[in-house]
Chain A
């Protein structure tokens, strides 16, 4: 499903090139919940952006469902993102002037779908946001914001969810709710690649990747979750 093959990513830093990913190879199968861990600056987020077709690797290959998104034009790559990938970020990145419902519907502009409205209402109910549907992000709690972001990520029924520290700004209870929703997505056949340095989510993970200095240092399968 997601395959990194000898992926390297180098940035130009003020003190010379910085290798964020070095010869990184891993394969994540469809329906897996994979957690990537590692210290700050280890390359986790870079790996996530490469997987999300947002950051072209310096060398090596990435394939999503057997297709190299970086071989596509930017417009087609955008279409692939809109159709196949959902993003959840630590900072939520909701559009400040759109209501909860409109934020959830935002991906529908990139991928028009006549059933988007019904899908958004379904997600609103599923994530317990009915009372907040017409509220602006600034009027929401952090947990509600992240649930809104998660609902937005799921609007186009993607195959993959990429989550970058999705519980980083949440208390334990809200963090658990988010992870539970990610797990539910996996149980419905989706694939989750979550970057975190917390313990939250470990219990649901199929595999835990350990990344240090841009390299995959371990890839451990966990006990199958219930």
Chain B
């Protein structure tokens, strides 16, 4: 007969106490596995959440950087050229000029050879009533930038509006229920909607852009514009504007030049703020996830050792009770020649058997408990696998076997020291 057969027979004979030992080991392993699986799930979810946030933030920052590149390309600044007799007070108040200058000015500038400005953008801008829709809007007629002939052509900073089309600000297309491709009648003329802008939170939201020529006709200002945007002025620093102003006014003496930076800076700041907020939102999410994990860790750090301690104590008591019940048997076995090592092996192997069964049941039970806990949270976004990964399962088995050994160690020593003479003398 082999030791295994004895163990198996004994476990079957005292099946209740054996099952109680298995249950204790299973509870211990289940608590550990549940904690590990829940923490692993939390980590996986944190990674997914932060990756999503990071992607969103990156996308936003990329978009902002692109916008900033367009707005402040090469750290240049923009200026605006207004008719000489335009009241700056009025311009600041209404954000457009009510005085006009010839459209040819822009060509003069482009051909002038000045080196401090890269692009010129002629515009005709005015606040008007959209008679067909009974809306007050800002109308901007534009033909796209005119490159300085002395500079190498670059990607256009402002896309021209194609002939026969209109570009609408967010508020306008939303309120009027228009979308790209629609046809719309504006001041008696039909335009196809070329693009609908997203919300910018500026006057752009109530602005409609149409080709310069169409605007000149509608506003009865043929050949006229009321501002030229000087884009990418290259003289930065304190002298930048004075230099640009000197150059431009040298070509167009009947104009005045002001820096168009306030809006640019405000937009830049707004964009930086959005970017910063996105970054802060990411950091906040990261912090919240870290705090939630720390809470889970603290809970696990208290509850798991407590459960393990209660279980190992229960297992020790069960093991002691088993050894006490089998005291006569141990004495007889020693009388039959069983050595101390064999008796130790008999008790400890039984404990290991308990630990093995406990590990199997506890691993499945712990994973199920963790799954139940996780799925109770309606915000849980990841799918949960039924079984933990190999490392966690191995940790469960190892802990179970270790606990079983620790619990059975003293009872095993007591059993191995049973004096057969003492047992037989009591007959």
Contacts and interface: CB of A to CB of B under 8 A. Distances in A.
Nearest to B334: A78
A45 B427 CA distance: 10
Interface string B291-333: 0000000000000000000000000000000000000110011
Interface stretch (B6-14, B66-74, B192-200, B214-222): B6-14
B342 interface: yes
B5 interface: yes
Contacts of A82: 336-338
A74 B6 contact: no
Contacts of A81: 335-337
A90 B427 contact: yes
Contacts of B185: none
B337 A110 contact: yes
Interface in A82-110: 82-83, 87, 89-91, 93, 95-98, 102, 105-110
A96 B340 CA distance: 21
Interface stretch (A48-56, A139-147, A174-182): A48-56
Contact of B336 (A74, A110, A164): A110
B424 interface: yes
B340 A49 contact: no
B424 A89 contact: yes
Query: A45, A78, A81, A152: which has the most chain B beta carbons within 10 Å?
Result: A78
A224 B360 CA distance: 65
A81 B331 CA distance: 13
A179 to B, nearest CB: 19
Given A49-B424, A109-B1, A54 B335 contact: yes
B338 A78 contact: yes
Contacts of A46: 425
Given A78-B337, A93-B332, A55 B427 contact: no
Contacts of B336: 81-82, 87, 106-107, 110, 152
Interface string B123-166: 00000000000000000000000000000000000000000000
Interface in B335-353: 335-342
A55 B421 contact: yes
Interface of A: prevailing SS: helix
Nearest to A50: B421
B427 A107 contact: no
Contact of A109 (B335, B342, B425): B342
B89 interface: no
Q: What is the size category of the interface that chain B forms with chain A?
A: 20 to 34
Contacts of B5: 102
A102 B1 contact: yes
B332 A95 contact: yes
Nearest to B11: A97
Interface string B403-427: 0000000000000000011001101
Nearest to A76: B339
Nearest to B329: A95
A111 interface: yes
Interface in A64-88: 74-75, 78-83, 87
A50 to B, nearest CB: 9
Query: B5, B6, B334, B424: which has the most chain A beta carbons within 10 Å?
Result: B424
B2 interface: yes
Contacts of A80: 337
Interface of B: 1-3, 5-6, 9-10, 12-14, 328-329, 332-342, 420-421, 424-425, 427
Interface of A: 45-46, 49, 52, 54-55, 74-75, 78-83, 87, 89-91, 93, 95-98, 102, 105-111, 116, 152, 156, 164
24 contacts: A49-B424, A54-B424, A55-B421, A75-B340, A78-B339, A81-B335, A81-B336, A82-B337, A89-B424, A93-B328, A95-B333, A97-B9, A97-B10, A97-B13, A102-B5, A106-B336, A107-B336, A107-B337, A109-B2, A109-B3, A109-B338, A110-B333, A110-B337, A116-B1
Given A45-B425, A90-B427, 7 more contacts: A79-B339, A81-B335, A82-B336, A83-B337, A102-B1, A106-B333, A109-B2
